[in-house]
Amino acid sequence: MGVIPDGAPCVASPVRVETRGDGNMQLLLVGVNHRTATLEEREALALREDEARTLLADLTGRGLVPEAVALSTCNRTEFYAVAETIAAADEHIREAVRAVRDGDLLAPGPQRYVLTGGSAAEHLFRVACGLDSMVLGDVQILGQVKEAYTRARQAGAAGVVLDRLFETALRAGKRARRETTIGAGTVSIASAAVELAETHGPLQGCRVLIIGAGETARLAARHVAQRGPAAIVVANRDLSRAAALAESVGGRGVALAALGDALAAADVVVSATRAPATLVSAALVRQVMERRAARPLLMIDLAVPRDIEPEARHVAGVTLHAVDSIQAVVGEGLGQRAAQVPWVERIIADECARFDAWWRGLEATPVVVALRDHFERVRLQELERMRHLPPDERARADRLTRALINRLLHVPTLRLKSDAASDEGHRRLIAAQELFALSAATPQRALPQAE
pLDDT digit string (tens) for 31-84? 999 999 999 999 999 999 999 999 999 999 888 899 999 999 999 999 999 998
pLDDT attached to residue 373: 87
For residues 81 and 326, which has the higher predicted lDDT (pLDDT)?
A: 81
pLDDT attached to residue 3: 38
Compute φ and ψ for 78, nearest 5 degrees.
Answer: -135, 145
What is the reported pTM?
A: 0.78
Q: Across all residues in the chain, what is the average pLDDT?
A: 87
pLDDT attached to residue 330: 65
For residues 444 and 293, which has the higher predicted lDDT (pLDDT)?
A: 293
Percent with pLDDT over 90 in the chain: 65
pLDDT attached to residue 113: 97
At residue 333 the predicted structure's pLDDT band, cuts being 50, 70 and 90, is low
Task: Judge whether residue 172 has pLDDT over 80.
Answer: yes
For residues 100 and 360, which has the higher predicted lDDT (pLDDT)?
A: 100
Q: Topology of 16-185+335-359 in CATH?
A: Beta Polymerase; domain 2 (3.30.460)
Which H/E stretch holds residue 125? helix 117-128
At residue 419 the predicted structure's pLDDT band, cuts being 50, 70 and 90, is low
Q: Per mean pLDDT, which range of 9-18, 47-56, 158-167, 210-219 is the poorest?
A: 9-18
Q: Per mean pLDDT, which range of 10-14, 124-128, 180-184, 248-252 is the poorest?
A: 10-14
Percent with pLDDT over 70 in the chain: 89
For residues 110 and 64, which has the higher predicted lDDT (pLDDT)?
A: 110
Question: Can you tell me the distance from the alpha carbon of 434 to that of 438, in angstroms, rounded to the nearest whole number?
Answer: 7
pLDDT tens for each residue of 237-294: 999 999 999 999 999 999 999 999 999 999 999 999 999 999 999 999 999 999 988 8
Give the residue-averaged pLDDT of 198-213: 96
For residues 367 and 287, which has the higher predicted lDDT (pLDDT)?
A: 287
Task: Judge whether residue 11 has pLDDT over 70.
Answer: no
Out of 10, 74, 129, 352, the active site residue is: 74
Task: Judge whether residue 408 has pLDDT over 50.
Answer: yes
In contact, 190 and 219? CB cutoff 8 Å: yes
Q: Per mean pLDDT, which range of 129-133, 148-152, 404-408 is the poorest?
A: 404-408
Give the residue-averaged pLDDT of 184-209: 89
Q: Topology of 189-328 in CATH?
A: Rossmann fold (3.40.50)
Task: Judge whether residue 6 has pLDDT over 60.
Answer: no
In contact, 365 and 440? CB cutoff 8 Å: no
Cis peptide before 391 (omega within 30 of 0): no
pLDDT attached to residue 331: 61
- Pairing between β-strand 67-72 and β-strand 76-83 as defined by DSSP bridges: antiparallel
Task: Judge whether residue 387 has pLDDT over 90.
Answer: no
The domain locations on the chain are 16-185+335-359, 189-328, 361-436
pLDDT attached to residue 440: 56
Looking at the chain, the number of H-run helices and the number of E-run strands are 15, 11
Task: Judge whether residue 4 has pLDDT over 70.
Answer: no
pLDDT attached to residue 444: 45
Torsion angle of alpha carbons 182, 185, 191, 194, nearest 10°? -140
pLDDT attached to residue 413: 83
CA nearest 129: which of 355, 351, 359, 357? 351
- Pairing between β-strand 297-301 and β-strand 268-271 as defined by DSSP bridges: parallel
Highest mean pLDDT of the ranges 131-135, 190-194, 318-322, 361-365? 318-322
Q: Within a 10 A sphere around the Cβ of 356, how many other Cβ atoms? A: 21
Task: Judge whether residue 362 has pLDDT over 80.
Answer: no
pLDDT attached to residue 433: 86
At residue 450 the predicted structure's pLDDT band, cuts being 50, 70 and 90, is very low
129 catalytic residue (yes or no): no
- Pairing between β-strand 24-33 and β-strand 16-18 as defined by DSSP bridges: antiparallel
pLDDT attached to residue 9: 35
